[in-house]
Amino acid sequence: MGSWFQQNFVEPGKLPMLLALAAFVLTFAITRMITRLIRAGKGPFRNVRPGGMHIHHVVPGVILMVIGGFGAVGSGRHGVAAAVWAVIFGMGAGLVLDEFALVLHLDDVYWTEQGRKSVEVVVLAAALAFLVLSGYSPLGVDSLSPEERQDRVSLLVSLGISLLFVLVTLLKGKLPMALVGVLVPPVAIIGALRLARPGSFWARRFYRRRHRARARMTLRAYHRDRRWSGPRRRVQDWIGGAPDVEPKRVATSDPPR
């Protein structure tokens, strides 16, 4: 076990990445546990409000990310210092992405439907980091043979094709598939060949006069969302807690004068 860990993580310089990922996931899990206890009014934890202003944990998260990021840049991939900076950066990333929805909307949407976006981003970030640890490289560079790497034309063509599939997938409104496709090119190929998502740039630009394609796109998106929205919401609620139920607004009219 020790030799396997040494060979697969320490010698290739992947130990800082592993520690950063572990710190990221652990910090997110602990933060969610604390915020759920605060929400339920249990335990000794309370919101930080110096002078009546609520300090969100994205603030210390940004500070930790900056410190850990600059430290990691200057420390390399080996040694104790690299491991320490990686842990600091992972903790900061966990705090920041836990409130990604707040940064995106510039509003405190932590316990709303919009707040689910934070959980989605955390899961996606952890998956991407895990793929990197597993040996996947951007645009499949590591899958090229030494001869292909020496041939600049072949290298540029291969990278260009992989990047093209990623961009098409992104324009079709499939951001998660595009990000994963950067590390796993077949995912980007599948995303680029399939129909675009409704409302995406690709759909607005290329499906404008293709009525049949628009109908197929809408029907496929409807069935997909109907099939997976329930399980996805249950997983999100299990990971990050269910959002608050917003009261339904009843339409009223002014009384006659």
First-to-last CA distance in the chain? 83
| Contact between residue 139 and residue 162 where contact means Cβ atoms under 8 Å apart | yes
CB atoms within 10 A of CB 173: 20
* Mean predicted confidence (pLDDT) in 128-144: 73
- Pair of tokens at residue 52: 């009546």
* Mean predicted confidence (pLDDT) in 144-155: 61
| Long-range contacts (CB closer than 8 Å, 24 or more residues apart) made by 174-181 | 174/200, 176/124, 179/124, 179/128, 180/127, 180/128, 180/131
pTM over 0.85: no
Whole-angstrom CA distances from 100 to 58, 109, 217, 226 are 8, 10, 29, 25
* Mean predicted confidence (pLDDT) in 141-167: 71
User: Residue ranges of the domains in the chain?
Assistant: 8-135
For CA atoms 112, 20, 167, 103, give the dihedral sign.
positive
pLDDT the model gives residue 2: 65
Q: Which of 197, 188, 128 is nearest to 161 (CA)?
A: 188
Query: What is the pLDDT of the chain when averaged over all its residues?
Result: 85
Q: Which of 137, 97, 129 is nearest to 239 (CA)?
A: 97
| Contact between residue 124 and residue 100 where contact means Cβ atoms under 8 Å apart | no
Coil vs helix vs strand at 1: coil
- Whether residue 66 is predicted with pLDDT greater than 80 in this model: the reply is yes
- Pair of tokens at residue 35: 């915020």
